[in-house]
Structures are given as C-alpha cells and as structure tokens.
Amino acid sequence: MTRICVSVCEKTIDALESAAIRASESADIVELRIDCLTRLEDLKPVLNRISCPVILTFRPDEQGGHRVLDHQARKLFWNSAPQTEWWDVESDLALETDWSRIIISHHHFSRVPEDITQIYEQLAATPAHVLKIAVQANDVVDCIPVFQLLDRARSEGRDMIAIAMGNAGLATRILGPSRGAFLTYAALEEENATAPGQITAQKLRSVYNVEQIDRETMICGLAGQPVMHSVSPHMHNAAFRTAGINGVYLPLEVHDVKTFVERMVHPRTREFDWNLRGLSVTAPHKSSVMEFLDWIDPTAQEIGAVNTIVVDDDKLLGFNTDAAGFIEPLLKVIDSLSGLRVAVIGAGGAARAAVWALLRQQATVTLFARDVAKARSLKQVFDVSYEPLSSASFADYDLVINATPLGSGELIEQVPVTAEQLHGASVAYDLVYNPIETRFLQEASKAGCRPVHGLEMLIAQAKNQFELWTGQTPSMNVMSDAAVAALDH
C-alpha cells in the first residue's frame, strides 16, 4: 500500500486548520506539526475538520522542530494531547500510552550517521508500532543505508518509515512505499515543505506515478549535479505512462560518479536490489563515467562523452544520444550544414557532441571558450580551430551555438555573448532549454538571428534514450507537452 502523508506546519491555529483541510483532499494521512504553532491551543476543532487519519507531531528543535523543548515540556504535551490515529514521538521519551499508535522517530540533519544500524536497533527494541529514521543525504549513495533499513524492517516484520532528506535523497521518497515503507511524506506546496527535499503530493502522483510503483518497476534516472531543475523526469515518466510501461525516471544527485556506479549501478557490485535499467548522464560526469563501463558505442568513443547508460544483464553499455539529438532540430531550419561556418561557444561535454556532429555534416567549426586550455584539448581531438571568447565577433558565421550552461539554473542571468557580437550571424542555437527563451536567444533576436531552442534537442535525444532502454518509440508530442508544462510551471 502507498500512503502519502502531507505534513502541515503553520504558525496560527486558523492557518493550521485551513492548510489541514486542503491537505486532507490530496493526502492519505495528514501530519499536524504542532511545534510550528506560536501558541498552543485546543486542537479538537481542527481535528474535527480533517477527513483522513492524522499524525500528531511535537518536534523539539534538535530534531528539526520549531521550538526549544526540554524533556519535561514534551512529556507534559503528550500527557494531555488529543487522541489521533498516530503520534510521532522522539526516541528519548518513554510515554505511558498505547504504543500501538506510536511512530517512534530519530532525525539527523547533517549526514547519515555511522551508527544508523544501532539507531534502528534501539528503536526496534521499543514497543512502538512504527519505526522512523530520517537522515540527510549529501549524495545519492546516502540512500543505500536507508533502502537497506527498509529491507531489514520488512524481513523482521516491522513497519518503518525511512527517508533520506535533501535533493539527493528524493529516490527514497518515491521508491520507499514500493520497498515496504509505511508511508512517504509530501508537502502541500513546495515552498512550505517541512523537511529538505520534500515535494508535493501532486508531483508524487502526477509526475512520478508513485502509487503504481512496485518491486518490478523499471527504474531509470538522470545522474549528475545539479539535476533537480531538469524536466527529463516529466518527459520520461509521461512517456512511460502513455506507452503503458511499468517504469519510473528519477533525478539522482551524484557527486562521486565512481562510488555511484560501484555501489548503486553496476549489477556485479551494487549494494542493494533494485530494477535499474538505464541512466541519462549529465554534467559533470559525461566523460568521467566512461572508465567504469563495460562497453561503449563507437560514436560515444569518438565524441569522448557518454550521456546514456543501458544496464544489460550484468554489463553497463554506454551511448551518446546528444549528437543525433543536436543535429535533428538544425536540419529542420537549415537544409544542409555542408560548408557552413559554425561557431561553438564552450568546450565541455555538450560542445564535444556538437562538434562531432557538425564535422560529420561537413561544417567548418571554430571553438570559442573562456577556458582556452579546454578548447585546446578539444582541438587535439577534433582538429578544429579555437579562439578566446572574450574578444569574439560572429558577423562572418552562419550558425552560432551556445554549448555552455550560461543562462540556466544559478547562471540564469548570465549570457556568453551580446547582441552586438552576434550581429551578422544567421542562426543562433542555444543548447540550454530552461528557460525556453534564454538570455542568449534574446540577444540573438536583437541581432536578427533565427533562433533554435534547446528544448528541441532535449526532446530528440530523450526519444533516443527511451528507445535504448525500452525498445519502443515514445510519443514525441507527449514528451514535448510534458516538458513545456513543467517549464511553464
């Protein structure tokens, strides 16, 4: 059973009641965070308005709560607290109560503690009905001990909530119920999340199809850093749903790619059982991941970057769908690239795929980079000329391509070149897709260039990835609609 618990944290009793009523419309369980109230008041009127089971929580600040509460203050609260389906109580309290409705909990907000197994055993030694451990994940591999605890609790017949908090722990929130978690927590709105990495109940259901996930679900994901801005989960999960495939696609925040592949990905070495079938790979791991794969497609070898991994029995196969995805939108606006003068701004993984594809189309390519050393390295691979970006002018170029991350995420206000530099160029292509209308394309519009949007490349390369993982061709319209809706949101 998949239970979604929406956690509500408000400063006033009226706001708590309003939020709890709205939460009960989308939740299986509502958690009332009483520690968030600035003044404790009678909760019975609020409880009478909630149409689903309730967890009552009175969290001290050292366990992530909003109040400084000593042991005695918490004991006094619980001795007079109203009866609800569940009470969430910290492990240091020994209450004289009905333990069949107690969730006994432990939180760690900086990392996964080394003694997490001992913490589990201490909680399991109590008569509490549900055990709860929530720890901070700083890398996706921090999810491993959380999944292992869920497996252990299940084998021992104990109900458990185990969560890795933070963006790197999102997989535990989405996959937890399918691995036996008693519930998974969600926010009413993401800006009101009560714990790091908490997403809304609506997103759990509509994007990740959490209620349909089981132990047989095919798992794919996006490995990189950062990944939470990506619309790829929206595209691939919509495509899975439309195709009738039991699959889910997750953002996986990976800092150490070697450790990630060894401990979570490779069938011969991974430390827990999950039906991982494929990965998208994004910055900064497209080149560094290659040494940990068993086989690499010749195209990806020539480019020097892998953006797609297929798990095939006990082997990892590497592919590059960026190059084909990059060219496809261009050929819709330019009949032939042969002989055209093309400027590529950047010298990273995206630039490598672009340069390789352009040379295959017999274009004449010049690299422009802030880091001249990286451009020089790329020249040695592809034998293209390069120039410093700082003094670049593109008046003599047919096509200018932004293959840097400037214009997206934390760099959204930055632009690699100005309209003045772009004046005279014919076509401008931004590989950044979020936002759809980037600063680079705005500058290009001022210069009179014809735009090509990065979202078109994203969808084209994602289609190829989906085919590699599933053997089926997804609906491009479904992928496009899902991506645009996510970006609009």
Torsion of CA 51, 57, 61, 62, to 10 degrees: -130
Contact 11, 19 (CB under 8 A): no
Question: How far apart (Å, rounded) are the C-alpha atoms in residues 32 and 59?
Answer: 11
Taking the chain, what is the end-to-end CA distance rounded to the nearest angstrom?
30
DSSP 179: G
Q: Where are the domains of the chain?
A: 4-214, 222-320, 323-452
Token reading at 457:
């490349």
Position 380, amino acid: Q
Position 268, amino acid: R
Handedness of CA 270, 276, 280, 283 (dihedral sign): negative
| 56 alpha carbon, distance to own chain's centre | 30
Question: Which residues, 6+ apart, have CB-to-CB distance to 315 below 8 Å?
Answer: 267, 294, 295
CATH of 4-214, one of 1.10.1790.20, 1.20.58.1910, 3.40.50.300, 3.20.20.70: 3.20.20.70
The class of domain 222-320 in CATH terms is alpha beta
pTM attached to this predicted model: 0.93
Give the pLDDT confidence score for residue 474 in this predicted structure. 97
Partners of 105 in beta bridges: 90, 132
Please name the residue that has the structure tokens 């913490």. 119
Question: How far apart (Å, rounded) are the C-alpha atoms in residues 297 and 291?
Answer: 13
Q: DSSP string of 11-23?
A: SSHHHHHHHHHHH
Active-site residues, by number, are 286
Token reading at 239:
């495509």
Task: Cis check for the bond before 145: say yes or no (omega within 30 of 0).
Answer: no
Question: Which residues, 6+ apart, have CB-to-CB distance to 489 below 8 Å?
Answer: none
Assess whether the region 4-214 and the region 222-320 belong to the same CATH fold.
no
Position 61, amino acid: D
Contact 258, 292 (CB under 8 A): yes
For 58-144, where are the E strands, in sequence order? 86-90, 102-108, 130-136
Torsion of CA 23, 25, 27, 33, to 10 degrees: 20
- The CA distances from residue 24 to 93, 131, 192, 379, in Å, are 29, 23, 16, 59
Q: Say if residue 361 is exposed, middle or buried (CB neighbours under 10 Å; 0-12, 13-18, 19+).
A: middle
For residue 44, which of 20, 9, 68 has the smallest C-alpha distance? 20
* Element containing residue 442 per DSSP (H, E): helix 439-446
Q: Say if residue 185 is exposed, middle or buried (CB neighbours under 10 Å; 0-12, 13-18, 19+).
A: buried
Integer-rounded Cα Rg, in Å, for the chain is 26
Strands across the sheet containing 450-452: 385-388, 364-369, 341-345, 399-402, 427-430, 450-452
SS (H, E, C) 267-318: CCCCCCCCCEEEEEECCCCCCHHHHHCCEECHHHHHHCCCCEEEEECCEEEE
Give the pLDDT confidence score for residue 357 in this predicted structure. 97
pLDDT in tens, the chain (489 residues): 899 999 999 999 999 999 999 999 999 999 999 999 999 999 999 999 999 999 999 999 988 889 998 889 999 999 999 999 999 999 888 788 889 999 999 999 999 999 999 999 999 999 999 999 999 999 999 999 999 999 999 999 999 999 999 999 999 999 999 999 999 999 999 888 999 999 999 999 999 999 999 999 999 999 999 899 899 999 999 999 999 999 999 999 999 999 999 999 999 999 999 999 999 999 899 999 999 999 999 999 999 999 999 999 999 999 999 999 999 999 999 999 999 999 999 988 889 999 999 999 999 999 999 888 888 888 888 989 999 888 899 999 999 999 998 998 778 889 999 999 999 999 999 999 989 999 999 999 999 999 999 999 999 999 999 999 999 999 999 999 999 999 987
| CATH architecture classification, 323-452 | 3-Layer(aba) Sandwich (3.40)
Position 286, amino acid: K
